[in-house]
Amino acid sequence: MVKMLGRKLLNTHFYDGKLNRNPNLDAKIESVRDIDENEKRRVILQFFQQPKNKLSKIGNEYMRKVIDDMIHPNGKVKNFDGKNGLWAGDVLYLICKNNPSRTIVDVINVQFEDMRTGLCPQGRSTRLYQVLLAIAPVSDLEVQSERGSNITFVDEDDETHEFELEFDDGDTDDEEEIIEIDL
């Protein structure tokens, strides 16, 4: 079972529709949706043409595929990840507008090189979204979370167990209860 799960985790499509999205970043992505695709493409090309932001030959080839698809009538659909609701071109545009460091450009390059394994919309958007998460200011990542959450697991006898979790609010007067679960 561990081997099978390991193979699933390596498959990009295992994460279709399961991408852990940040609402603040989603709002930023949505805010650039109406910017002209040619303008986005210009910003991206201008960013990668700077000597300090050069990509490898392979990285450059796949970056160009993504940005060419931004303006090609049949290509736009290649950049839209309908499973996660992301446009790869919008995410790449935001990355370039943030003027990331050379280290992040190296990470972007690796992501483009990894697109050799497949140029599906989910692979494009997920790889670039991860980069955007890495460079986002902390203030963009802060989100109000609920105080509690539920977890469910099924034991070896196929019995379902559900637990409600509560997060520590910092109040030292609360009684502390520790539950150990052997899985």
CA gap 149, 169 in Å, rounded: 14
Asked whether residue 180 carries a pLDDT value surpassing 60, the answer given is no
pLDDT category at 19 given cuts 50, 70, 90 is: confident
Count CA within 13 A, CB hemisphere, residue 79.
26
What tens digit of pLDDT does each residue of 138-154 get?
777 665 544 445 555 55
Please indicate, yes or no, whether the overall pTM of this predicted structure exceeds 0.85: no
pLDDT category at 172 given cuts 50, 70, 90 is: low
Q: What pLDDT sits at residue 140?
A: 72
What tens digit of pLDDT does each residue of 43-95 get?
999 999 999 999 999 999 999 999 999 888 776 788 999 999 999 999 999 99
CA gap 160, 154 in Å, rounded: 4
Asked whether residue 40 carries a pLDDT value surpassing 80, the answer given is yes
> Partners of 86 in the beta sheet?
81
CA gap 127, 112 in Å, rounded: 8
| Higher pLDDT pick, 104 / 19 | 104
DSSP state, 173? T
Q: What pLDDT sits at residue 2?
A: 39
